[in-house]
């Protein structure tokens, strides 16, 4: 759901720094944090769902789901399979995994 801060006293992370959220600040959450009850209003009731995209590759008769690996796991996968992919600055894990998947598919198809 999408919330808007209406009263002071809500703390959270903005650009990586923990601070008091300004009145009018909007953000998305799965559930209203107990400390925020009475200090925020619901603007929009939207569903936040994780990506359902499966990024499965068959490597040496094993299925590897890149979407389940950590960023470090993805980097190890890239190194172990000699792929020319590096994580770009600010790139989220899901996008990094998709790029690795596409490069690996192209390499396996050669």
Residue-wise pLDDT for 51-80, tens only, equals: 556 788 888 888 889 988 999 999 999 999
Please tell me the distance from the alpha carbon of residue 56 to that of residue 66, in angstroms, as a whole number.
6
Q: Which domain holds residue 27?
A: 2-44
Residues 27 and 65 in one domain: no
pTM above 0.85, yes or no: no
More confident residue, 5 or 108: 5
Residues 36 and 75 in one domain: no
Is 21 exposed, middle or buried (CB count within 10 Å of its CB: 0-12, 13-18, 19+)? buried
Predicted pLDDT at 52: 58
- Say if CB 32 and CB 3 are below 8 A apart: yes
Report how many domains make up the chain: 2
3-state secondary structure 25-49: CEEECCCCCHHHCCCEEEEECCCCC
- For 16: left if phi > 0, alpha if psi spans -120 to 50, otherwise beta; the answer is left
Residues 62 and 98 in one domain: yes
Predicted pLDDT at 50: 58
Predicted pLDDT at 40: 94
On whether residue 95 sits in a domain, the answer given is yes
**30-56 pLDDT tens trace:** 888 889 999 999 998 866 555 556 788
Residues 36 and 63 in one domain: no
Residues 71 and 93 in one domain: yes
Predicted pLDDT at 32: 87
On whether residue 71 sits in a domain, the answer given is yes
On whether residue 37 sits in a domain, the answer given is yes
Residues 12 and 39 in one domain: yes
Residues 40 and 64 in one domain: no
On whether residue 23 sits in a domain, the answer given is yes
On whether residue 50 sits in a domain, the answer given is no
Residues 35 and 6 in one domain: yes
- Say if CB 26 and CB 4 are below 8 A apart: yes
Q: Is the pLDDT of residue 92 over 70?
A: yes
Q: Per-residue pLDDT averaged across 12-28, rounded?
A: 89
List, in order, residues 6 or more apart from 24 with CB less than 8 Å away.
Answer: 4, 5
């Amino acid at each position: 759901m999408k919330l808007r801060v209406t009263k002071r006293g809500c703390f959270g992370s903005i650009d990586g720094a923990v601070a008091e959220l300004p009145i009018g600040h909007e953000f998305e959450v799965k559930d209203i944090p107990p400390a925020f009850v009475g200090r925020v209003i619901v603007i929009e009731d939207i569903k936040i769902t994780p990506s359902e995209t499966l990024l499965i590759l068959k490597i040496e008769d094993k299925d590897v789901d890149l979407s389940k690996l950590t960023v470090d796991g993805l980097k190890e996968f890239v190194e172990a399979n000699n792929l020319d992919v590096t994580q770009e600055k600010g790139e989220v894990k899901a996008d990094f995994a998709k790029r690795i998947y596409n490069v690996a598919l192209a390499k396996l198809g050669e």
